[in-house]
Amino acid sequence: MNPHPTSRRAWLLAAGASALAIIGGIIAYFLPRDLRDTPAEPVRAGALDELEARGYLALAYGAYPAIVVSTEAGPVAYSRVCTHFSCTVEYDPGAREFRCPCHDARFAGEDGRVLAGPPSEPLRRFDLFVEDGQVYLGSR
Ligand code: FES
């Protein structure tokens, strides 16, 4: 007769929980940083004159590759992380649209909406402001 009838079950549960914790830690190690993080302070993107001449300003904004594009409504800032599977989109200032090289998605430069391809969400937008002729991402 077993004096500890649940000890084997308890051991198996503990071993299973430990294995899940280890596997979860390994998976978390290989996942990218939390892309929801953005800098606490404004980040200068560049001069408004340069934006208007070139049509865009590319920069790093925290963990994001970001871009400010010139639109008829004024400058608009986006994450360049595709909302499908996180490839980096490229901006075509001539066509005024973004293109994702991974699955041929296209996004509108004026508002980031999906024009074609598999993404269901528009590009993420960032706040921006202009001060002394310079464009900043973030809030004052
Ligand atoms: S990752 Fe951009 S379309 Fe799939």
φ, ψ at 123 (rounded to 5°): -65, 145
Q: Is 118 in the pocket of ligand 1 (CB under 6 A)?
A: yes
For residues 11 and 48, state if they share a domain: no
Q: Is 103 in the pocket of ligand 1 (CB under 6 A)?
A: yes
Residue 41 structure tokens: 């302070």
Give the structural domain span for 9.
Answer: 1-31
Instruction: Quote the CA–CA distance of 71 and 85 in Å, as a whole number.
Output: 26
Using the mean position of ligand 1's atoms as its centre, give its distance from the Cα of residue 32 in Å. 17
Predicted confidence at residue 42, as pLDDT, reads 96
Q: Is 82 in the pocket of ligand 1 (CB under 6 A)?
A: yes
Rounded mean pLDDT, 125-133: 97
For residues 9 and 47, state if they share a domain: no
- Domain assignment of residue 70, yes or no: yes
CB 40 within 8 A of CB 139: no
- Give 96: exposed, middle or buried? Use CB within 10 Å, 0-12, 13-18, 19+: middle
Q: Which of 79, 83, 90, 100 to mutate to test the pocket of ligand 1 (most atoms within 8 A of CB)?
A: 100
Q: What is the mean pLDDT of the chain?
A: 88
For residues 55 and 122, state if they share a domain: yes
Q: Using 50, 70 and 90 to split pLDDT, how confident is the model at 112?
A: very high
For residues 5 and 53, state if they share a domain: no
- Domain assignment of residue 36, yes or no: no
14 pLDDT more than 90: no
Total number of domains constituting the chain: 2
| Residues sharing a CB contact under 8 Å with residue 123, sequence separation 6 or more, in sequence order | 78, 79, 80, 81, 82, 83, 89, 98, 107, 112
For residues 23 and 54, state if they share a domain: no
CB 110 within 8 A of CB 98: no
For residues 55 and 112, state if they share a domain: yes
- Domain assignment of residue 16, yes or no: yes
φ, ψ at 135 (rounded to 5°): -100, 130
